[in-house]
Amino acid sequence: MRLAADAPTPDWDSFEFAFECADLEVRSYYDTVTGEVCVTGPFEDDPGERERIDADPGRYLEIDRLPLREQFQWMERFALEEVGDGRLRERLLRALGGRGSFRRFKDALLADPQERERWFVYHASALRQAIEQWFAERDLAVGAAPPWTRVAD
C-alpha cells in the first residue's frame, strides 16, 4: 500500500464492513476521490448512490466480498498453527467439516474464552491484511495508513 499526500484516506471501518458483508443484495464501492465506501442495495441510506456510481464508473471500484474459502482457510490455519490445546484443536478441525462449519467453529470456541478472544484478534489481523492487499493489487495510494498499522509513541 502506497502513501501519497494527495490521495484520499479510506474510511477503514466501512472497508472492513464491506469485505465481510454477507448480504448478497448489497454491493460496496470505493470512491477513489473521497475515500468513502458507498453501499448500494435494498436498504440504501442514499437512494441516489447507485445513479452516482453508474454516472462515473471510473471513480468507483467495487469491493468484492471476502471469499468464503479464504475465511475458511483462516479458521483452519488458526486451529492448526495457533491453538496449543490438542483437544480444542481437534474440536475446531472437526467443526470445519461440512455445512454450517462457520457456526460450529465459533460455537467450539465458546468453551474457551481466551482462545475465542485470540481468534478474534487473529481474524481481525487477517482481514486487515486482505484489505491492505486489495489496495496493493490495485496500486492505489492512500492519504493515511490504516489505524491498525500506526506505531504508538
Listed residue (145, 121, 142) closest to 36, CA to CA:
142
In a domain, 44, yes or no: yes
| Per-residue pLDDT at 95 | 96
**Is the pTM value of this prediction over 0.95?**
no
Is there a domain that residue 138 lies in? yes
**Domain membership flag for residue 151:** no
Say yes or no: 82 and 54 in one domain: no
pLDDT confidence of residue 153: 42
Same-domain status, 88 and 110: yes
Give the tens place of pLDDT for each residue, 99-115: 999 999 999 999 899 99
Strand 2-3 relative to strand 60-63, pairing: unpaired
Domain encompassing residue 22? 2-66+131-146
Number of domains, the chain:
2
Judge if 113 and 78 occupy the same domain: yes
Are 53 and 91 members of one domain? no
What's the confidence (pLDDT) of residue 44?
A: 63
Q: Do both 61 and 8 map to the same domain?
A: yes
Residues of the chain with pLDDT under 70: 44-46, 150-153
pLDDT value for 45: 66
Residue 59 lies in a domain: yes
| Shared-domain flag, residues 62 and 137 | yes
pLDDT digits (tens, 9 = 90+) for 40-64: 888 766 678 888 999 999 999 999 9
